[in-house]
Structure 1
């Protein structure tokens, strides 16, 4: 599967998401029980606008307005890797028991290994988007349509459909992490997708960290790096 390209587009789509005027309007775009109107998200041609539509559907309109700025901050796979590298490196220096050696985050890996990391990150991203329980059957159908516009990889589309259909289980999500660095990247991706003011989503994030076996100091460092990046982006 070519997970890397799709995930990179989704992570870069926050600017289109935020700039779309329809997304800044009131919740009347979302009819009760009917999900987000996809046409309101697709204001322009090109992959960026399409990715914004898919990401907006994953998030839901209200949530997208809150967390879209975090997506802009991360910028893409490379940016996510840089943040994970900084956080992991700082944690290593501060903890005598931490693994030694240069962190092997996805910004420092060969393409084949980046693909493995990308699939794990996309697993975490989709799960975190479901943490508020907002994705219904109609929205899943719309998401499938938007993803089909971003990739012609039928295997990837089927995989995403299965991920969307799964019950939310942080333990199963965490099984995708094959290394400490991958766990850090998955947690960062989840951070950008959740509304931390929501008790339900914050609880999911904390449980994911536990299932990923993140050291509390590493978890705090990841959250600190994400917060600093967001503050820098805001001016």
Structure 2
């Protein structure tokens, strides 16, 4: 059975990742997405998958306090922090604030909130939406063309992925890039922020195509410009990168 949360936790690493679970996937420990993109650690299945999806792109590595949460919990924590700061009327973090914020204790999103649903079915639904958002973001600059898809599918056949995992990834890769489909995964404004945060983690925002895609996604999700700036700054703090200019 397809387990979106398990696949997402492996994709991002961390304490939320599966440890000796029934899917047969290995222990990824506290590694972040950057480790996976470089193929580091324990033959991580999702690491190989992430590297395939992003090709030669560098990817983003979750660090600081967010790394301690790991997996789906890290995405929720990042979106929750940006949301709280935005609602409090705080200014978005400047580039020089990134290192300080990365060392600030990252609070997990409270259980039972849209950032961290309390029921298993709701968590799985959100995880599916976050996975779809991340895969879509990797396609934004057009590097995952038909030839690249064929290579990815051939490599996937050699991975210890379940048939359901493979089917999900293949369907998402084959689908036309559809920002509206990604945006429909948000059932609340809070989840809209989380979907945007997940999308930011999947790209380096270093091309006009990526910036354009993120601008469209923010608009479709109905995100306030100030909230978008907070999300960019919070993700930059967690990845140790300069704050990219919000689209």
Q: If the TM-score is normalised by the length of the shorter chain, which range does it land in?
A: 0.7 to 0.9
2:143 equivalent to 1:134: yes
Cα offset, 1:134, TM superposition: 0.9
Relative to structure 1, is the Cα distance of residues 108 and 53 closer, same or farther in structure 2, using a 3 angstrom cutoff?
same
2:60 corresponds, among 56, 68, 92, to 68
Using the TM superposition, name which of 9-18 and 174-183 deviates more.
Answer: 9-18
Relative to structure 1, is the Cα distance of residues 15 and 230 closer, same or farther in structure 2, using a 3 angstrom cutoff?
closer
- Residue of structure 2 equivalent to 1:90: 85
RMSD over aligned Cα atoms: 2.8
2:237 equivalent to 1:228: yes
Equivalence map 1:115-154=2 (5 Å): 115-144=124-153, 145-146=155-156, 149-152=159-162, 154=163
CA contact (8 A) 2:35 2:61 kept: no
1:183 corresponds, among 181, 192, 196, to 192
Q: Distance in 2 between matches of 1:131 and 1:147?
A: 24
- Residue of structure 1 equivalent to 2:11: 10
- TM-score in terms of structure 2 length: 0.70
Using the TM superposition, name which of 119-128 and 105-114 deviates more.
Answer: 105-114
Relative to structure 1, is the Cα distance of residues 209 and 150 closer, same or farther in structure 2, using a 3 angstrom cutoff?
farther
Cα offset, 1:113, TM superposition: 1.3
Higher fraction of helix: 1
Q: Distance in 1 between matches of 2:230 and 2:160?
A: 33
2:54 equivalent to 1:59: yes
* Structure 1 unmatched runs, 5+: 21-40, 96-101
- The alignment partner of 2:177 has SS state of coil
- The alignment partner of 2:240 has SS state of helix
- Residue of structure 1 equivalent to 2:219: 210
- Residue of structure 2 equivalent to 1:169: 178
- The alignment partner of 1:69 has SS state of coil
Cα offset, 1:137, TM superposition: 3.2
Deviation by residue 1:83-120 (Cα, 9 ceiling, x = unmatched) = 1111112223339xxxxxx7824445332211111011
Cα offset, 1:222, TM superposition: 1.1
Deviation by residue 1:148-183 (Cα, 9 ceiling, x = unmatched) = 73532x344323222111111212221111111211
Q: Distance in 2 between matches of 1:229 and 1:44?
A: 21
* Structure 2 unmatched runs, 5+: 14-31, 91-109, 242-247
Cα offset, 1:198, TM superposition: 0.8
